[in-house]
Structure 1
């Protein structure tokens, strides 16, 4: 028997507006994670290690930096003569303006090319989360159950807020009810934004909803409730680490959690490494004056100051006498002598002037600084401040 024909769609068109200046001028999936990785690497690595060979990335908001990084799917061995990687940008035609209003609407707008592929299973994931998942057991469970749709779920920690997610109530593997971003969540089991769909059922429900009129919006607003009302929806529990990085606090803390002696997830796991397009940089330089504790240094970094519980991106300079604590510093940023950076996220090519003071070590809300922003010497930036980028569209590298 021939294996099922699987098409994987990675939804990577979101702006990530909750991350403020970090996503001005670029799509959220292009954000760095763990130094030299990118958020899109997580989803594409999961597909590659799961043996999926037809992977399409749906784009919309500011896709240029994302496309440059993905390099036609090459880092994940998806660049092939037949099948493989495809980027799906917005388009006009057939009475549409090209821009989707949510992920369910994005599926409807691209249904023509999806249907032409004629998959047995449509696997849909987002590029907003930090997790590792083998999709093969999910696909087996979906096909074996005969379900119209299968959701991958996870149990959130008690400290998390389920009201930001699709809250799922299941009896065994059968979904009994769901609530999308409820004001008063009835539980902590939520959808991970990984779905397996039976294509003919998906086509039917999308067509019906379009015929009824109104905005399709996101999957939890109209599409999944329609699936639940009309047929069998099942759930597969993901028991491993899963972290949404969509808020400033989650984006910072979700990365700093990886620094401990027993991290919840290893990016360099030999059995399931996160694959990426590595920067071409020399090894990091650590000067005699440097003091390091729980620090990740990316290639090309030059550190002469103090770095504590922080992630230093490629080409970052931390001068002698500077202090970086509980922070993420992106590519080619500079922290001048005498400056202090605490619980902050600095985007690419930011310059922190001598003696400047950003954030606070115990602050709840981090400082976010957009790309190429220059912070004058001696400036005090309070915790939770958002500083917009100076030149947000200078993220693209010069053609080589």
Structure 2
């Protein structure tokens, strides 16, 4: 796998996740208590044997760049391994990246420097488990010029993706980018074959098409421009996603909206979650902060007594549940929930303190927020809308560091 250069696109604004992306790029948004979204793509790389990785960053990149330096410095440059984040260099123009393909084109100097045979393009904002080594083997078997990661997706939800039609050998014969009426799979009229935004190119082929695209008036996007321009003239194949999560249903999530983000986190605390964080066969790594163990105090098991307890929840290091109840929730590091507070179906991020007698339900509370005592969130959505972001499904979102009055 040393002949593959991996480029991870991690510069998206993530506007639909606002306010969680007010101060960070979408790949840097916390997920599952202790991870960042980009950790899942990076863990796939490590588990697939990929050790030459460049993360292309752009908007609000400080948090993401710091996370990569702190948590992913496990590569050994003495044996040719590396990972580093690369901001826009403006070597070709004064523009920001105009699209996914333009992001790679503007940084082609690094490809010329490394001289890989193949370039793997990944998105840094999806949650899934995939062995890219098998995708590489598929390219070799089919003698493809490019292989596109593909997943069978419900037809009604396929309009947000590139939709493919393939022949019996999995060669792509048609591509519709975000069609209003997606084409169903011949074998299953309820599903479409959709692009995962994963592309494995032969380097020479990629360079040729990036150069041609740079001269055209296009959106400079892989899904809208590069891949459609190759169909017919190049060997473009679809690799059907093989899920290393090893559940009955394949797991691949965009978590591009606040509701989708909340739902994906809530899945993690179910008895048998769709996505398994505890799989030693396919470990997910991240930056491990220096926090003490989680602590639960007060066990006054009598009427009116205080009981520090967490049920069906993820509680990260450094948390203190002091005479409070946490249920069906995800707590990041160093969260404190004080006497007789109740937190239900919520995502609480790092360094949040919840005051005594608070009631929190169906909320996402970003880092560094102090909730004053006796505050209620999620019980009166009209009142919550006057102070916070409230989604269509009624999830209340409190911004990072927001100051609340008691």
Give the TM-score normalised by the residue count of structure 1: 0.87
* 1:227 has 2:230 as partner: yes
Match of 2:48 in 1: 50
- Pairing of 1:206-355 with structure 2 (within 5 A): 206-216=210-220, 218-240=221-243, 241-288=251-298, 289-304=307-322, 305-355=324-374
Residue 27 of structure 1 contacts residue 63 of structure 1 at CA under 8 Å; is this kept in 2? yes
Match of 1:356 in 2: 375
Using a 3 Å threshold, how does the CA distance of structure 1 residues 299 and 4 change in structure 2: closer, same or farther? closer
Match of 1:84 in 2: 82
Residue 322 of structure 1 contacts residue 336 of structure 1 at CA under 8 Å; is this kept in 2? yes
Aligned residues: CA RMSD: 2.0
Query: In structure 1, which of residues 10, 14, 20 is the aligned counterpart of residue 8 of structure 2?
Result: 10
Deviation larger for 294-303 or 314-323? 314-323
Please give the secondary structure, in 2, of the residue aligned with 1:372. coil
Residue 6 of structure 1 contacts residue 123 of structure 1 at CA under 8 Å; is this kept in 2? yes
Residue 315 of structure 2 contacts residue 331 of structure 2 at CA under 8 Å; is this kept in 1? yes
* 1:148 has 2:145 as partner: yes
| Aligned-pair CA distance for 1:114 | 1.2
Please give the secondary structure, in 2, of the residue aligned with 1:7. strand
Using a 3 Å threshold, how does the CA distance of structure 1 residues 6 and 361 change in structure 2: closer, same or farther? farther
Deviation larger for 195-204 or 360-369? 360-369
Residue 73 of structure 1 contacts residue 79 of structure 1 at CA under 8 Å; is this kept in 2? no
Match of 1:367 in 2: 396
* Aligned-partner Cα distance in 1 for 2:365–2:38: 19
Residue 68 of structure 2 contacts residue 85 of structure 2 at CA under 8 Å; is this kept in 1? no
Match of 2:247 in 1: none
Deviation larger for 350-359 or 146-155? 350-359
Residue 319 of structure 2 contacts residue 333 of structure 2 at CA under 8 Å; is this kept in 1? yes
| Aligned-pair CA distance for 1:29 | 0.9
Match of 2:384 in 1: none
Residue 100 of structure 2 contacts residue 222 of structure 2 at CA under 8 Å; is this kept in 1? yes
| Aligned-pair CA distance for 1:252 | 1.1
| Aligned-pair CA distance for 1:354 | 2.2
Structure 2 residue runs without a partner (length 5+): 185-191, 244-250, 299-306, 382-391
Residue 79 of structure 1 contacts residue 85 of structure 1 at CA under 8 Å; is this kept in 2? no
Using a 3 Å threshold, how does the CA distance of structure 1 residues 376 and 186 change in structure 2: closer, same or farther? farther
Residue 55 of structure 1 contacts residue 86 of structure 1 at CA under 8 Å; is this kept in 2? yes
* Aligned-partner Cα distance in 2 for 1:157–1:341: 34
| Aligned-pair CA distance for 1:222 | 1.0
Residue 327 of structure 2 contacts residue 344 of structure 2 at CA under 8 Å; is this kept in 1? yes
Residue 121 of structure 1 contacts residue 198 of structure 1 at CA under 8 Å; is this kept in 2? yes
* Aligned-partner Cα distance in 2 for 1:102–1:232: 23
| Aligned-pair CA distance for 1:72 | 6.5
Please give the secondary structure, in 2, of the residue aligned with 1:341. strand
Higher radius of gyration, 1 or 2: 2
* Aligned-partner Cα distance in 2 for 1:340–1:322: 6
| Aligned-pair CA distance for 1:183 | 2.0
Query: In structure 1, which of residues 154, 175, 180 is the aligned counterpart of residue 177 of structure 2?
Result: 180
* Aligned-partner Cα distance in 2 for 1:292–1:31: 24
Structure 1 residue runs without a partner (length 5+): 378-400
Using a 3 Å threshold, how does the CA distance of structure 1 residues 80 and 365 change in structure 2: closer, same or farther? farther
Please give the secondary structure, in 2, of the residue aligned with 1:55. strand
Deviations 1:8-54 (A, max 9, x none): 11111111111011011211111111111111111111111111111
Using a 3 Å threshold, how does the CA distance of structure 1 residues 374 and 40 change in structure 2: closer, same or farther? same
| Aligned-pair CA distance for 1:239 | 4.1
